[in-house]
Copies of this chain bind each other. A is one copy, B any other.
Amino acid sequence: MASNLVSKLFRPPLTQLVCLRSGCLFRGKGAAAAATGTRSSSSGSPPEKISRYPIPYKKDLPYDIVELMEEVESKGGFLPNVFKVLSHRPAEFRAFFAYYNELMNKDTGRLTKADRELIVVATSIHNRCLYCVVSHSALHRIYSKNPTLCDQVIVNYENADLAPRERAMLDFAMAVCRCDTITEQHFKSLEEAGFDREDAWDIAAVAAFFAMSNRLAHLTDMRPNLEFFNLGRIPRDKSKDKAGDGN
């Protein structure tokens, strides 16, 4: 009975996971492959030093994790290092990505995917987390098609070129990030910018989850893939054209 109970509790968040592994995050495979090579390896051999902890060989990983990794890599063109680094602890890997998936890969309420990435960037720079800042500012550039906003937010979100709703969103996210005592005043400020209490939960949950993620990245000295640094900086059409003719 307990087994039945638990399998229901952890029923697969299927549709979102599909979204997680969809190729929309990354440029086409060809372009990415061109940029790859320095740190990751395409074979089954263990990758370069991207963590303070050992990275398991694929052959030693549980099959469900390998399968997920391969799908992410095939769709996105490269495998973000966080998958490799956290696979050191398979059970925690599963819990981490199930939670991540639940919070990040959706456009619900008034938060777009770009908004969620902006929250990650603003809070992760506060926490000085190299991996999260570099990788999620790349995702923000792609989702928002704005190649410079995150660079501004990384330096100082207070004078970045933000819309008022974005500023209110980040003000609240930063309050959560700093672990301020949240009061009714916080919710009022959000309401004035058009966010209701469910949006507040969404903002806070992303900020809270990355409070955890940033600390795991510090623990492991997780290094971002080189691909992330330039992702989304150059207008896609051009680069695609250039990279594309040979494919």
Task: Identify A64's interface contact among B11, B103, B197, CB under 8 A.
Answer: B11
Give residues of chain A (195-214) contacting chain B, Cβ–Cβ below 8 Å: 197, 200-201, 204-205, 207-209, 211-214
Query: For A18, what are the chain B residues with a Cβ–Cβ distance below 8 Å?
Result: 2
Nearest chain-B residue to A63 (Cβ)?
B8
A95 at the interface (CB under 8 A from B): yes
Query: For A94, what are the chain B residues with a Cβ–Cβ distance below 8 Å?
Result: 9-11, 98
Query: For A158, what are the chain B residues with a Cβ–Cβ distance below 8 Å?
Result: 128, 181, 183
User: Copy number in this complex?
Assistant: 6
Complex CA gap A88/B201 in Å reads 10
Task: Please classify the interface of chain A as helix (H, G, I), strand (E, B), loop, or mixed, using the class held by over half of its residues.
Answer: helix
Query: For A183, what are the chain B residues with a Cβ–Cβ distance below 8 Å?
Result: 158-159
- In contact, A151 and B98 (Cβ under 8 angstroms): no
- In contact, B179 and A155 (Cβ under 8 angstroms): no
A31 at the interface (CB under 8 A from B): no
Q: Using C-beta atoms within 8 Å of the partner chain, give the interface range for chain A.
A: 35 or more
- In contact, B219 and A229 (Cβ under 8 angstroms): no
Task: Tell me whether A229 and B64 are in contact in the complex, defined as CB-CB below 8 angstroms, given that A53-B201, A130-B159 are known contacts.
Answer: no
- In contact, B182 and A221 (Cβ under 8 angstroms): yes
Task: Tell me whether A179 and B9 are in contact in the complex, defined as CB-CB below 8 angstroms, given that A98-B98, A103-B92 are known contacts.
Answer: no
- In contact, A226 and B102 (Cβ under 8 angstroms): no
Nearest chain-B residue to A160 (Cβ)?
B130
Query: For A111, what are the chain B residues with a Cβ–Cβ distance below 8 Å?
Result: none
Query: For A152, what are the chain B residues with a Cβ–Cβ distance below 8 Å?
Result: 130
- In contact, A12 and B3 (Cβ under 8 angstroms): yes
- In contact, B14 and A12 (Cβ under 8 angstroms): no
A57 at the interface (CB under 8 A from B): no
Give residues of chain A (140-198) contacting chain B, Cβ–Cβ below 8 Å: 147-148, 151-152, 154-156, 158-160, 176-177, 179-183, 197
A30 at the interface (CB under 8 A from B): no
A33 at the interface (CB under 8 A from B): no
A32 at the interface (CB under 8 A from B): no
A-B contact pairs, 16 of them (CB 8 A): A3-B12, A9-B65, A10-B11, A52-B182, A52-B197, A89-B201, A92-B103, A95-B95, A128-B155, A128-B181, A130-B156, A147-B230, A158-B183, A182-B219, A205-B216, A208-B213
